[in-house]
Amino acid sequence: MAISEGNLDKPKIQVDNLCLWYGSFQALKSINACFRDRIITAIIGPSGCGKSTLLRVFNRMNDLVEGVRTSGKVLIEDISISDNNIDLVSLRKKVGMVFQRPNPFPLSIYENIVFGPRIHGSMNKSELDEIVEESLKSVLLWDELKSKLDNPALSLSLEQKQRLCIARLIAVKSDILLMDEPCSALDPYATARIEELMRELKNRYTIIIVTHNMQQAARISDEAGFMLLGELIEFGATENIFTRPTNKLTEDYITGRYG
Ligand SMILES: Nc1ncnc2c1ncn2[C@@H]1O[C@H](COP(=O)(O)OP(=O)(O)O)[C@@H](O)[C@H]1O
Ligand SMILES: [Mg+2]
């Protein structure tokens, strides 16, 4: 692969001393972490520990919740995203997110994919056609769907819908893909296929997945962070987290003592 080592070593996202409050409740407590490009990083931890909140910091989705306050710093490619003058539309384009329940628009497959590109720039039909083909190829749906592009997206299977949601991010050229429990609505076969897709996509993207499926985190991630009650307890190579955690709390969690 023609990627320089220097490029890979530089963190894509750097989090320094990040705290977040919902009103008076502190949901994130002095988080420090680096998320690297072209690897999969998993965030694990029991329900309510702040995994989704942390993901939503990266595209400022928490701004939509009233009474949210943050302190500390989050840099994406060395740019502080908490500044008031940051362009939120470009940030959310760059940092895309998929959720537990795939949420395609009640439009055709084609219209789902061109929705974003159309908002972000005027393009002609052949440019849009090309984006649809490329995006669907990236999520390995093209052969399956190329003759059904006018079908409603809501008629797809859950797995296809989740792939379509990932394709929508690719269509607007997101390069950081946040995945919040992307497989939890899927059966084990569909889950395995989405994991396969993630492995393929990691050659081109920064992928951060939140999962409470520890086996999944162990299978697909290169680095992992364990959170508990708003704190990032341990962060490092997945292999180390799962085979020789340094913190007793991590060990207790991965061996199933709580959660
Ligand atoms: N919009 C919100 N308003 C108030 N509290 C919230 C909100 N969203 C999440 N929380 C609280 O913040 C904590 C972390 O939530 P969340 O990030 O969803 O955890 P996880 O994804 O790990 O299950 C929980 O205690 C949750 O109740
Ligand atoms: Mg969550």
State pLDDT tens for residues 169-206.
Answer: 999 999 999 999 999 999 999 999 999 999 999 999 99
Q: Is the CB of 49 under 6 A from ligand 1?
A: yes
Tens digits of residue pLDDT in 152-175: 999 999 999 999 999 999 999 999
CA dihedral sign, ordered 250, 256, 257, 259: positive
Q: Is the CB of 53 under 6 A from ligand 1?
A: yes
Atom number of ligand 1 nearest to Cα 56: 17
Q: Would you call 131 helix, strand, or coil by DSSP?
A: helix
Interatomic CA distance for residues 133 and 143, integer angstroms = 10
In a domain, 52, yes or no: no
In a domain, 143, yes or no: yes
In a domain, 118, yes or no: yes
Tens digits of residue pLDDT in 214-245: 999 999 999 999 999 999 999 999 999 999 99
Could you tell me the two tokens for 72?
Answer: 């500390």
> What's the pLDDT band for 6 if we cut at 50, 70, 90?
very low
Tens digits of residue pLDDT in 80-103: 999 989 999 999 999 999 999 999
> What's the pLDDT band for 7 if we cut at 50, 70, 90?
low
CA dihedral sign, ordered 101, 89, 152, 198: negative
In a domain, 151, yes or no: yes
Domain count, the chain: 1
> What's the pLDDT band for 8 if we cut at 50, 70, 90?
low
Q: Is the CB of 48 under 6 A from ligand 1?
A: yes
**Mean pLDDT for the chain?**
94
Q: Is the CB of 50 under 6 A from ligand 1?
A: yes
Q: Is the CB of 225 under 6 A from ligand 1?
A: no
Could you tell me the two tokens for 145?
Answer: 């769907």
> What's the pLDDT band for 11 if we cut at 50, 70, 90?
very high
Tens digits of residue pLDDT in 57-81: 999 999 999 999 999 999 999 999 9
pLDDT at 75: 97
Interatomic CA distance for residues 208 and 223, integer angstroms = 10
How many angstroms is it from 65 CA to the middle of ligand 1? 11
In a domain, 116, yes or no: yes
In a domain, 97, yes or no: no
In a domain, 186, yes or no: no
Interatomic CA distance for residues 135 and 132, integer angstroms = 5
In a domain, 114, yes or no: yes
Interatomic CA distance for residues 118 and 180, integer angstroms = 26
The residue count for the chain: 259
For 146, the domain range is 104-173
Interatomic CA distance for residues 219 and 160, integer angstroms = 22
Which of 44, 21, 19, 16 shows the shortest CA–CA distance to 32? 16
Atom number of ligand 1 nearest to Cα 62: 1
pLDDT at 122: 73
> What's the pLDDT band for 9 if we cut at 50, 70, 90?
low
pTM of the model: 0.95
